[in-house]
Amino acid sequence: MVRRDIVRGHNDATYDIVPKQDQLFNVEFLEIAPTPIIADRVFFVYLRGYLPESTNTLALYDKGLVDATLTVSGSVIYPDGRYEDPRSLTIP
């Protein structure tokens, strides 16, 4: 059985490719409203987190965070069982 790390907050999000303990950004809270998201409607996402205090400017440069990005993925499962494959959005 695969262990799934759930992201704290009101959401259905989980850590996926990069395990929680290996994340450079510590997520404190993720709010998605409404949940579940209603098709063809506006929804809101609030993400709060931090970089660990032990990470200084030089360490950020050494870890390649100068060009860091945030990638968010999502997929859809409709009530009738149809689904859409996951799509990703990468933000600089």
Is the separation of the CB atoms in 46 and 66 below 8 Å? no
For the entire predicted model, the pTM comes to: 0.61
Measured distance CA(52)–CA(1) in Å, rounded: 30
Residue 30, beta-bridge partner list: 47
For position 17, what pLDDT does the model report? 74
pLDDT in tens, 26-76: 889 999 998 888 777 888 999 998 877 665 555 555 555 667 777 878 887
